Amino acid sequence: MNNNISADRYQKMKYNRCGNSGLKLPAISLGLWHNFGHVNDYENSKELIHTAFNNGITHFDLANNYGPPPGSAEEVFGRILREDFQGYRDEMIISSKAGYTMWDGPYGDWGSKKYLVSSLDQSLKRMKLDYVDIFYHHRPDPETPLKETMDTLSLMVQQGKALYVGISNYKAEEAEKAIQILKENGTPCLIHQPKYSMFERWVEGGLLDVLETNGVGCIPFSPLAQGLLTDKYLHGIPADSRIATSGVFLKESSITPEKIEVITRLNELAKSRRQKLSHMALSWILKDHRITTVLIGASKPAQITDALLALDNTIFSEEEIKNIDQILA
């Protein structure tokens, strides 16, 4: 057993039941979309996992194409598990996904049975695991019959390669159909992973209702809108920010004067709640009982411990909610 594992880690976290399942997830989960590739500093990646686990974050979210290069986040995470977490696998929820481009040719993308089966087999080899806890279809495929994709997810559970299955980036109507197929197959949909933040609220237009009606959990990603919902950009673009260093997912053109004004007003409201803007943005998502857990990313261990402070105040007055809606409008 690892002597560096905190004995009181479970006292530091709140756990929520995921939909109608028997599974509980930490209110905050760690996503490995960025900062876990071969291009990143291995010791830092390792420290991120330790910091998360020592603070009760038991859920680690990956996908086949996370890196860069694609696949390397799973390899790095698998190495960290073997080196530092022998004996702790049963205390972790490890998820992966397939649905975006992973390899060349017609079988390396989207939602065919051929692609999904191959992809999960590759993910398990990269992480050197017997199974993942959750396997997601990463995005709807307009060309593959939905039944083929959902039947393949069910097959993963029947084969013991995944304990639960989920969907990601599905709109309300697509999600409803997918959930029904999985239910008929006897492998209910555990969870849905949509993009959701104060700046991106499409899930409120029906998806959250579909999930609640069907007893499916919800794990939003990009809750801080790639860093916009922090105080980072209030006074210009810092040299170490995601815009300055990559500019792929968040571009300088996103930082308009109008956007800065909205962020400034939200920041003032957060201060009145004795919170940082980033804390309020996470709390605002977690206030909804339909949300099981919120997915954060981190490049420094301190960002993980900082995010946990959002759990100290997830209650909003009606007036605060009204003010937030007015600012965002």
Q: List, as one string, the DSSP characters of 269-287.
A: HHHHTT--HHHHHHHHHHT
Whether 282 is in a domain gets the answer: yes
> What are the residue ranges of helices labelled H in 85-198?
113-127, 146-158, 172-185
Contact status, residue 25 vs residue 18, Cβ threshold 8 Å:
yes
pTM of the model: 0.95
**Average pLDDT rounded to a whole number, residues 137-152:** 98
Q: Indicate if the pLDDT at residue 245 is higher than 90.
A: no
Q: And the tokens for 50?
A: 């330790």
| Listed range (90-104, 249-263, 300-314) with the worst mean pLDDT | 249-263
What confidence category does residue 232 fall into, taking pLDDT thresholds of 50, 70 and 90? confident
Whether 132 is in a domain gets the answer: yes
Whether 185 is in a domain gets the answer: yes
Q: How far is CA 23 from CA 50, 217, 237, 320, 321, in A?
A: 22, 10, 41, 32, 30
Whether 267 is in a domain gets the answer: no
Q: And the tokens for 181?
A: 């197929």
Mean pLDDT of the chain: 95
Whether 39 is in a domain gets the answer: yes
**Average pLDDT rounded to a whole number, residues 235-259:** 68
Looking up residue 280, the CATH number of its domain turns out to be 3.20.20.100
| Listed range (1-5, 91-95, 230-234) with the worst mean pLDDT | 1-5
Which residues are paired to 61 by β-bridges?
Answer: 31, 95
**Which range of residues forms the domain containing residue 197?**
9-227+276-316
Per-residue model confidence (pLDDT) at position 250: 65
| Listed range (40-54, 115-129, 178-192, 243-257) with the worst mean pLDDT | 243-257
| 141 vs 114: CA distance, rounded Å | 13
Number of domains in the chain: 1
Q: Indicate if the pLDDT at residue 210 is higher than 60.
A: yes
What confidence category does residue 199 fall into, taking pLDDT thresholds of 50, 70 and 90? very high
| 200 vs 251: CA distance, rounded Å | 16
Q: And the tokens for 102?
A: 């992973």
Tens-place pLDDT, residues 270-301: 999 999 999 999 999 999 999 999 999 999 99
Whether 235 is in a domain gets the answer: no
Contact status, residue 142 vs residue 181, Cβ threshold 8 Å:
no
What confidence category does residue 249 fall into, taking pLDDT thresholds of 50, 70 and 90? low
Element (H, E) at 218: strand 217-218
Helix 172-185 and helix 146-158: axis angle, to 10°? 40
Q: Is 201 helix (H, G, I), strand (E, B) or coil?
A: coil
Whether 116 is in a domain gets the answer: yes
HSE toward the beta carbon, residue 106, CA cutoff 13 A: 3
Per-residue model confidence (pLDDT) at position 234: 84
Tens-place pLDDT, residues 302-311: 999 999 999 9
Nearest to 120 by CA among 141, 95, 145: 95
Tens-place pLDDT, residues 212-225: 999 999 999 999 99
Name the maximum alpha-carbon separation found in the chain.
54
Helix-, strand-, coil-residue percentages of the chain, each rounded to 5: 45, 15, 40
CB neighbourhood size of 14 (10 A)? 14
Tens-place pLDDT, residues 43-53: 999 999 999 99
Per-residue model confidence (pLDDT) at position 136: 98
Q: And the tokens for 4?
A: 């560096």
Whether 255 is in a domain gets the answer: no
Contact status, residue 25 vs residue 15, Cβ threshold 8 Å:
yes
